[in-house]
Structure 1
Amino acid sequence: MNRRAKDILGKTDFDLFPDQTWASEIRNKDLKAIAEGRLSEYAVNYKDPSGRIRIVNALRTRVQSKNEVYLVAMLWDITEQHNNELELIKARESDRLKTNFLANVSHEIRTPLNAIIGFASIVGDAHDEFERNYYMNIINENSNQLLKLIDDIIDLSSLEVDKFEFKMRSVELKDICRSVYNMFSQKTKPEVSFIFDNNILPSVFLYTDPKRLHQVLSNLIDNAVKFTIKGNIRFGYEIQSEENTDKQFVRIYVEDTGIGIDKNYNHVLFDRFFKADNFTQGFGLGLPIAKKLTEEMGGELKFTSEIGCGSKFWIKIPILSNS
């Protein structure tokens, strides 16, 4: 308790602890131990009179002596031991995550790299211009995929060590969305329609980093394009108000009719290189980067999905001024 014996003797819990709720909780535990004969607790939070939180093992036991009843209470402060164990657990978990990350990233890198090496070795043997162009397109596509993967690794590393710079300013959201749409309008599969209701979207200005917001939306649409074989991808936004307040926010959504995500994977969807199975391409780093960037810019990234019925991701960003 960090108190001298002479300052404690003769006083009650309510005299010693400024937090009367905490004093009442201690009193109730004492009474319970007297009634039941014994009360043991392990690795519980204990707030001393100065307000410090310590981790303790506690034992309360009733002692009968002739006509008198005594309560003996003993507390062992295990804060340092507890913290050391937590650090050890964190270190082991960190090692496990790093190992998984390296295994996954090596797989993601090898896939486009093998395609580049393989088709580069046979492009010179192509018999006509059409065949040569076909091989070159595959090489270029996989080169861009490899370059994006490396950029994502660098971005994620910068985010995790807080060395990512944000340049916030007032921007027109429709301009950013139009730019993203133009970038992906020719990248969807033949049986997929990319819908962007540009003409009905309201004008709204956000105080944000336009480059990073563009990156977030690009990552979301890139995944939609990757996992939507037929149907459509819908992209847009709407202005909404917080319940019982006059605060407004913009809700930017990316909705697709792709393969969907099993609800059992919801809790790991934003993990690095999440893969639903060993036979499909992983989500890469796009989603964890999008989530981290959105949160750094004061927003939220959420999703709903159903296996075989597509997914809907949306970003909720408050409409704020720069003042």
Structure 2
Amino acid sequence: MKWEAPLGKFDIFENSGSVFAVEWSDEKCLIMQSFSSNIRLWLSQDTLTRNKFPTVFVYPQDAVSRATLIQNIKQNSQSSIKYGFRNLNGGITYVCEELLSDTNGIVTSIFTDITETYQHNLEVSEVSERLELVLEGTRLGMWDWNPQTNDVVFDERWANMLGLRHCDLTQTLSDWENRVHPDDIEGCFTDIMAHVNGEVGFYENTHRVMHADGNWRYILDRGRVVKRDASGNPIRFTGTHTDVTELKKAELRAQESLSAKNKFFARMSHEIRTPLHGILGTADILTKKNLPSDAEHLVQIINDSGEQLQILLNDLLDVAKIEEDTLEISIKRCDIVKSLKTVFNLFKQKAESKGLEYTFVNNTPTASIFIHTDPSRINQIISNVISNSIKFTNNGFVKLTIDVVGGEFFVHVEDSGIGIKDTSLIFNPYTQEGTVASKSMGTGLGLSIVKSLCEKLTIQLHIDSVPKRGTCFRFNLGRVIKTATTAKKMNKAESQEKTGVSNKKVLVVDDNDINLLIAKTMLGECFEIVEIAQSGKTAIDLVSKHRNYDLIFMDLNMPEMDGIETSEKINQLNLANPPIIVAQTADATEEAKALLKTASIDNIITKPFTKEKLTALIHSLNIRARPS
């Protein structure tokens, strides 16, 4: 462009700290004719003496670009360029040079210092490039949503993730919403609103989105509200999409594999429990007979071996439930002293048979202490620990102690056994310490289950152990809610029930001859009338005909008509005095127990069971007996 230079043409720049001017004496703008005096703020006297301006360029390519600019200025195709040069302090000053040509063809350059702006833009550019590299490397698709207008800016990666082109998008919420699986959309908006309402710091949800190829892709969606209006309404909600389909599929495969393994355990448990019930039931009946001493010893071996197998089955099932997080907990008010005494008595014979001093110590002044917990799980925890103490103590003592400190109930199980070298490892599944002989005495699952149950019940567990001197397990079961100085005395009628024979009528339904024999023998010691049915159909016929059974023991797994269907049909008879139905099954899974509710069966006894277990169940049903 042509420029008329005024008088004192550079005076305007004299006091400027950001603009200076140079008039050139040649067409290539290499030699400085004159310049504004403030140029000394940028260029040294040495540079000015050498006069050739290109010698101060930082980068050779800048000089090439400037030479091209000089050539193009004659065609007015370009009149400015940005570059950096060495300044007075040896650093770099970034300038924008604009060339002006006057009527005489003399070219003047006006230089504007843009260092601050240039560096800011450079930083922004570097951040943008870094972000772009991160997004590219992590395969993240970006979205920027205005919830008030539902306008959304989706980037190209977001579109490509779903097999789309960027131009295919309407840049509205429907681009995403219409592609989300119908079963997942409600959960998405629930999580979105939880964040919008301030309930959670960030939005995160994994859901299925339809790909252009017709397949569902699992998308990890994350975001955050970054701007709100004066009323607090979100007006900018930004986030990312990540395709986690392969990871999700791997997770589902792992869950299916775990489920298949646990179903295998459950099925094998059922198949083993059925004959085991026959073995232990027969052995239990034999222990009540007058047998020669050598026969008694052999029966005891059968009992002990069967109990070990039963413990193994129970442990495997519990581990499976823990892994699937389906282990059920039922919290209720219970007399914990009574419960622990029952557990203690279960192991009395075993401890005394090894010659151990086996004691129960109550350091409280009360006979009954009530807490809120799951008594069956507490029994399982303490049983595991006492069993281990007896197992790994060859001489000395095993002691169960209870105490109340600061209103909380504590249980100690202490022994003088072989001790534990590393207490941090014993809670790992399938991990055992000790000799080869001692390791062969279990699966290493018991204490793993103890730890899991303590976590479920929020029980504080502490263990102290000294190798070759013994171990002490300490449990804090929680707050005491009530105490009683004396235990409830059993009245005469109740006492008679414990030993008497009831005149109630009982029906045992089972397709297995051995199970029928065992159940009838055990029940015959409690009831005067015990009848049997070997199928569901026979059971229904008997109940329809006699209509006076007080109690029915129903096997769940029978051919043609199983125990669930049989029980439902009996309930449909609408009897004036319907019998109490007790399910007897070798299937101890939670799914099996859930099925009982459909047939209105509230009681269950798991095979194998002993006479003591059967008697305890009968008394819990409040079936009145008469003295024999």
TM band (smaller chain):
0.5 to 0.7
Partner secondary structure for residue 197 of structure 1 = strand
Partner of 2:431: 274
Structure 2 distance, partners of 1:286, 1:154, is 12
TM-score (normalised: structure 2): 0.31
Structure 2 distance, partners of 1:321, 1:184, is 28
Instruction: Specify which of 159, 163, 168 is matched with residue 326 of structure 2.
Output: 163
Say whether 1:205 aligns with 2:370: yes
Alignment deviations for residues 102-155 of structure 1 (CA, whole Å, 9 cap, x no partner): 9xxxxxx9xxx9xx9xxxxxxxxxxx9444443332222111110111022112
User: What's the offset of the Cα at 1:206?
Assistant: 0.5
Partner of 2:399: 234
Gaps of 5+ in 2: 1-83, 86-91, 94-114, 141-241, 265-271, 280-290, 483-628
Say whether 1:185 aligns with 2:348: yes
Instruction: Specify which of 413, 420, 433 is matched with residue 261 of structure 1.
Output: 420
Q: Is the 8 A contact 1:174 1:201 kept in 2?
A: no
User: What's the offset of the Cα at 1:200?
Assistant: 4.6
Structure 2 distance, partners of 1:195, 1:172, is 20
Structure 2 distance, partners of 1:296, 1:179, is 22
User: What's the offset of the Cα at 1:255?
Assistant: 0.8
Q: Is the 8 A contact 2:409 2:480 kept in 1?
A: no
Higher RCO, 1 vs 2 (CA within 8 Å, ≥6 residues apart)? 1
Change beyond 3 A, Cα 1:222–1:268? same
Partner of 2:489: none
CA RMSD of aligned residues (A): 3.9
Partner of 2:521: none
Partner of 2:476: 316
Q: Which amino acid aligns with 1:150?
A: L
Structure 1 distance, partners of 2:245, 2:425, is 27
Instruction: Specify which of 204, 210, 219 is matched with residue 384 of structure 2.
Output: 219
Partner secondary structure for residue 288 of structure 1 = helix
User: What's the offset of the Cα at 1:205?
Assistant: 1.3
User: What's the offset of the Cα at 1:173?
Assistant: 1.6
Change beyond 3 A, Cα 1:254–1:146? same
Partner secondary structure for residue 222 of structure 1 = helix
Say whether 1:303 aligns with 2:466: no
User: What's the offset of the Cα at 1:167?
Assistant: 2.5
Change beyond 3 A, Cα 1:152–1:301? same
User: What's the offset of the Cα at 1:219?
Assistant: 0.9
Q: Which moved more, 1:268-277 or 1:193-202?
A: 193-202
User: What's the offset of the Cα at 1:272?
Assistant: 1.9
Partner secondary structure for residue 424 of structure 2 = helix
User: What's the offset of the Cα at 1:312?
Assistant: 0.9
Partner secondary structure for residue 329 of structure 2 = coil
Q: Is the 8 A contact 1:257 1:311 kept in 2?
A: yes
Alignment deviations for residues 264-300 of structure 1 (CA, whole Å, 9 cap, x no partner): xx33211223222534334632212222222212212
Q: Which amino acid aligns with 1:221?
A: I
Say whether 1:146 aligns with 2:309: yes
Q: Which amino acid aligns with 1:207?
A: H
Change beyond 3 A, Cα 1:321–1:87? farther
Structure 1 distance, partners of 2:244, 2:464, is 38
Partner of 1:35: none
User: What's the offset of the Cα at 1:220?
Assistant: 0.9
Partner secondary structure for residue 333 of structure 2 = strand
Q: Is the 8 A contact 1:159 1:292 kept in 2?
A: yes
Q: Which amino acid aligns with 2:384?
A: N
Partner secondary structure for residue 328 of structure 2 = coil
TM-score (normalised: structure 1): 0.58
Partner secondary structure for residue 301 of structure 1 = strand
Output aligned runs, 1:95-174, within 5 Å.
Answer: 129-174=292-337
Q: Which amino acid aligns with 1:316?
A: N
From the CA coordinates, give the structure whose radius of gyration is larger: 2
Partner secondary structure for residue 228 of structure 1 = coil
Structure 1 distance, partners of 2:457, 2:325, is 13
Change beyond 3 A, Cα 1:275–1:282? farther
User: What's the offset of the Cα at 1:86?
Assistant: 12
Alignment deviations for residues 207-253 of structure 1 (CA, whole Å, 9 cap, x no partner): 11111111111111111111011111111122223xxxxxx422211
Change beyond 3 A, Cα 1:295–1:141? same
Partner of 1:285: 445
Structure 1 distance, partners of 2:248, 2:409, is 40
Q: Is the 8 A contact 1:233 1:256 kept in 2?
A: yes
Say whether 1:249 aligns with 2:408: yes
Change beyond 3 A, Cα 1:204–1:287? same
Work out the number of aligned pairs and report it. Answer: 226
Structure 1 distance, partners of 2:457, 2:418, is 30
Structure 2 distance, partners of 1:240, 1:150, is 37
Alignment deviations for residues 55-86 of structure 1 (CA, whole Å, 9 cap, x no partner): xxxxxxxxx99257776453525486999889
Q: Is the 8 A contact 2:364 2:404 kept in 1?
A: no
Q: Which moved more, 1:77-86 or 1:230-239?
A: 77-86
Q: Is the 8 A contact 1:235 1:255 kept in 2?
A: yes
User: What's the offset of the Cα at 1:161?
Assistant: 2.3
Structure 1 distance, partners of 2:385, 2:400, is 10
Q: Is the 8 A contact 1:304 1:312 kept in 2?
A: yes
Structure 2 distance, partners of 1:268, 1:84, is 34
Structure 2 distance, partners of 1:83, 1:224, is 49
Change beyond 3 A, Cα 1:250–1:320? closer
Q: Is the 8 A contact 1:273 1:283 kept in 2?
A: yes
Q: Is the 8 A contact 1:223 1:283 kept in 2?
A: no
Change beyond 3 A, Cα 1:301–1:87? farther
Structure 2 distance, partners of 1:129, 1:321, is 51
Structure 1 distance, partners of 2:305, 2:328, is 29
